[in-house]
């Protein structure tokens, strides 16, 4: 096959080019290792050479079960450089997840960290993986699977001599990203080489104004589409540095990292902003003075969290709507213009429309189904042509989200289509009820879902996590919250039952899995 007339490969765009421009500038900082742009490029080239020497071909899938690390970045771009497709997955997943990932992706190669090894290893016996690289010297390789397994340090060549970039086109498949599974089983979205450049220019540079002096810090991990931009290719696109935190995020540890490494742009999800607030409001000192911008995505940011965070830290949180399928955020608040409860307006280069079930545009103030169009849209769901066709209409993609646009043109997230409830003939957004609940002094986290009553009618049920220091409810706390809520919401929106729980089921990316609550 003849090479494409226009060659564009993400390995060149996000690592080779920046390494040529500023080789000695820090690219990665963090709690484990640091690397300049030249050092990061060297690691990528070693991975690319090793994959090539062990028979990896263009189009092969390379599964990455790695924490946020230099190895992740080198593995991702090293695979892409030779035309293979990196497939990053959750490094804290369980065996059932890895069985799905290896079977669905058909990966021939896997790069796995020691922290994932015990869960991942049994999946090798039932997969097409022919070659596994184990990152970490403590890995025991005996009986790992049916293919070949080797340690990272034994696999990489000492010689980091460059190899040619595979001549991919901007439209060629570049990598697979699995959806979070907040609505059920994950599916892999196939993204093109050109997509990262689109989101980096439109959002990272166009909205956030990222520059070489910035240090980004993403609580959301690199295997997640949101984190992949925040913590990897956004900073690389402008020659900035990324602060990597490979451990599971905890509010006290994240706060310590912010104070020590002084990031300027901070990315997280609503549930973690709530966690930071609980920690700060309990009296723990937190220094966020280095942060010029805070960003939230993954789920709607409750207005209550926005207001309390701004009051506590003097920082407005920029809420945004994005998805794995669109790669990153396509509706966003603007710096200095963020409003509580609003996720802003479309990012430049993206078009959105809100339609009813008959695919007619709904008037402002009414809830409908969100469709989006933009150059970063995924090309298909891997191995699932039927669901791919059902979500496409020309250049438009049906997101599965319910939104409303107000008279000022700002958009408001109302929930996933399968999370919406129709109560007494009226649509109820879980986000509206949850935001009201978060204003009660006893409520730390909450989720509202619809359950059927004895006659088959939908009724809202609230699942509540109490704030630190409060014991399990007693003395009519549910009645108190119910009465308090009815002063803030119309009657049909108010939950008829309150269930107090220790924690809410969430995906690894922090999204509440409401479908699990509906099943209880």
- Concatenating the DSSP letter of every residue in 355-366 gives E-TTS-BPPTTS
- The answer to whether the CB of 175 falls within 8 A of the CB of 87 is yes
Alpha carbon distance 296, 342 (integer Å) = 12
Candidate ranges 12-16, 182-186, 414-418; pick with highest mean pLDDT: 12-16
In this predicted model, what pLDDT tens digit does every residue of 212-261 receive, in sequence order? 999 999 999 999 999 999 999 999 999 999 999 999 888 999 999 999 99
Q: Compute the average pLDDT of residues 319-344.
A: 96
Other residues' Cβ atoms within 10 Å of the Cβ of residue 218: 28
Could you tell me the end-to-end alpha-carbon distance of the chain, in angstroms, rounded to an integer? 54
pLDDT greater at residue 323 or residue 387: 323
Q: Compute the average pLDDT of residues 480-494.
A: 87
SS3 content of the chain, % helix, strand, coil (to 5): 30, 25, 45
Task: Give the pLDDT score at 2.
Answer: 59
Beta bridge partners of 217: 243, 266
Domains, the chain, ranges and CATH?
Answer: 10-178 (3.40.50.12780), 194-416 (3.40.50.12780), 421-518 (3.30.300.30)
Beta bridge partners of 26: 36
In this predicted model, what pLDDT tens digit does every residue of 377-413 receive, in sequence order? 999 999 988 888 888 989 999 998 889 999 999 999 8
Task: Give the pLDDT score at 139.
Answer: 60
Counting every residue written for the chain, the total comes to 520
State the pairing for strand pair 421-423/426-428: antiparallel
- The answer to whether the CB of 362 falls within 8 A of the CB of 337 is no
What band does 472 get if pLDDT is binned at 50, 70 and 90? low
Other residues' Cβ atoms within 10 Å of the Cβ of residue 1: 5
Nearest to 204 by CA among 264, 245, 255: 264
Any idea which of 17-26, 83-92, 97-106, 449-458 has the lowest mean pLDDT?
449-458
DSSP tag of 125: G
- The answer to whether the CB of 256 falls within 8 A of the CB of 275 is no
Alpha carbon distance 33, 287 (integer Å) = 23
State the pairing for strand pair 458-466/497-500: parallel
Question: Does the pLDDT at position 147 exceed 80?
Answer: no
Q: At 369, list the tokens.
A: 């189904």
Secondary structure class of 188 (helix, strand, coil): strand
Task: Give the pLDDT score at 406.
Answer: 95
Task: Give the pLDDT score at 175.
Answer: 98
Q: At 256, list the tokens.
A: 């310590």
pLDDT greater at residue 83 or residue 450: 83
Q: Compute the average pLDDT of residues 421-433.
A: 77
pLDDT greater at residue 425 or residue 47: 47
In this predicted model, what pLDDT tens digit does every residue of 16-71 receive, in sequence order? 999 999 999 999 999 678 999 999 999 999 999 999 999 999 999 999 999 999 99
Q: Which residues of 330-349 are buried (b: 16+ CB within 10 A; e: fewer)?
A: bbbbeeeebbbbbbbbbbeb
Question: Does the pLDDT at position 513 exceed 90?
Answer: no
Task: Give the pLDDT score at 32.
Answer: 75
Q: Compute the average pLDDT of residues 154-178.
A: 93
Task: Give the pLDDT score at 172.
Answer: 97
Nearest to 91 by CA among 61, 73, 116, 60: 116
Q: Compute the average pLDDT of residues 350-362.
A: 94
Q: Compute the average pLDDT of residues 428-456.
A: 85
- The answer to whether the CB of 446 falls within 8 A of the CB of 467 is no
Alpha carbon distance 424, 125 (integer Å) = 52
Task: Give the pLDDT score at 386.
Answer: 86
What band does 141 get if pLDDT is binned at 50, 70 and 90? low
Mean pLDDT of the chain: 90
In this predicted model, what pLDDT tens digit does every residue of 365-375 receive, in sequence order? 998 999 999 99
Secondary structure class of 490 (helix, strand, coil): coil
What band does 457 get if pLDDT is binned at 50, 70 and 90? low
User: What backbone torsions phi and psi does residue 248 show, to the nearest 5 degrees?
Assistant: -65, 135
Q: At 482, list the tokens.
A: 């119910």
Percent of the chain predicted with pLDDT > 70: 93
Q: Compute the average pLDDT of residues 472-481.
A: 76
* pTM to 2 decimal places: 0.85
Question: Does the pLDDT at position 138 exceed 90?
Answer: no
Q: Compute the average pLDDT of residues 2-7.
A: 69
Task: Give the pLDDT score at 109.
Answer: 97
What band does 456 get if pLDDT is binned at 50, 70 and 90? low
Question: Does the pLDDT at position 120 exceed 80?
Answer: yes
What band does 344 get if pLDDT is binned at 50, 70 and 90? very high
Task: Give the pLDDT score at 68.
Answer: 96
DSSP tag of 506: B
């Amino acid at each position: 096959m003849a090479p494409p007339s226009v060659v564009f490969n993400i390995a060149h765009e996000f690592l080779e080019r920046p390494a040529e421009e500023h080789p000695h500038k820090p690219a990665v900082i963090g709690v484990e290792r640091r690397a300049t742009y030249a050092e990061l490029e060297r690691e990528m080239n070693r991975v690319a050479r090793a994959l090539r020497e062990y028979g990896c071909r263009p189009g092969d899938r390379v599964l990455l079960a790695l924490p946020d690390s230099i190895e992740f970045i080198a593995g991702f771009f090293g695979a892409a450089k030779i035309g293979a497709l990196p497939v990053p997955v959750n490094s804290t997943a369980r065996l059932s997840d890895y069985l799905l990932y290896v079977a669905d992706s058909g990966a021939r190669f896997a790069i796995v960290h020691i922290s994932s090894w015990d869960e991942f290893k049994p999946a090798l016996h039932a997969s097409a993986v022919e070659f596994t690289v184990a990152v970490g010297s403590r890995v025991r390789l005996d009986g790992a699977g049916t293919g070949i397994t080797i340690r990272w340090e034994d696999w990489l060549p000492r010689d980091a001599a460059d190899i040619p970039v595979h001549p991919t086109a901007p439209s060629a498949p570049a990598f697979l990203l699995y959806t979070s599974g907040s609505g059920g089983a994950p599916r892999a979205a196939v993204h093109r080489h050109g997509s990262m450049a689109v989101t980096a220019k439109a959002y990272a540079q166009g909205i956030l104004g990222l520059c070489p002096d910035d240090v980004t810090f993403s609580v959301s991990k690199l295997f997640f589409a949101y984190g992949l931009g925040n913590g990897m290719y956004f900073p690389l696109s402008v020659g900035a540095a990324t602060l990597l935190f490979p451990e599971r995020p905890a509010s006290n540890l994240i706060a310590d990292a912010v104070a020590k490494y002084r990031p300027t742009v901070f990315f997280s999800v609503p549930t973690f902003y709530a966690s930071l607030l609980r920690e700060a409001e309990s009296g723990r000192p937190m220094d966020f003075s280095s942060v010029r911008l805070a960003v939230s995505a993954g789920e709607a940011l409750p207005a209550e969290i926005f207001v309390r965070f701004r009051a506590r830290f003097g920082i407005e949180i920029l809420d945004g709507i994005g998805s794995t399928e669109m790669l990153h955020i396509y509706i966003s608040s603007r710096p200095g213009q963020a409003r509580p409860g609003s996720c802003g307006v479309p990012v430049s280069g993206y078009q959105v429309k809100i339609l009813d079930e008959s695919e007619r545009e709904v008037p402002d103030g009414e809830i409908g189904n969100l469709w989006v169009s933009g150059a970063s849209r995924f090309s298909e769901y891997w191995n699932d042509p039927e669901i791919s066709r059902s979500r496409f209409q020309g250049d438009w993609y049906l997101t599965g989200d319910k939104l409303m646009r107000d008279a000022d043109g700002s958009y408001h997230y109302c929930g996933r289509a399968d999370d919406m409830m129709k109560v007494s003939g009226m649509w109820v957004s879980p986000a509206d009820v949850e935001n009201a609940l978060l204003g009660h002094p006893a409520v730390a986290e909450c989720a509202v879902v619809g359950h059927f009553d004895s006659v088959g009618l939908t009724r809202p049920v609230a699942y509540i996590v109490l704030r630190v220091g409060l014991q399990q409810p007693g003395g009519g706390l549910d009645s108190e919250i119910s009465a308090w809520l009815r002063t803030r919401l119309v009657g049909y929106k108010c939950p008829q039952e309150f269930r107090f729980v220790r924690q809410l089921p969430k995906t690894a990316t922090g999204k509440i899995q409401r479908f699990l609550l509906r099943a209880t």
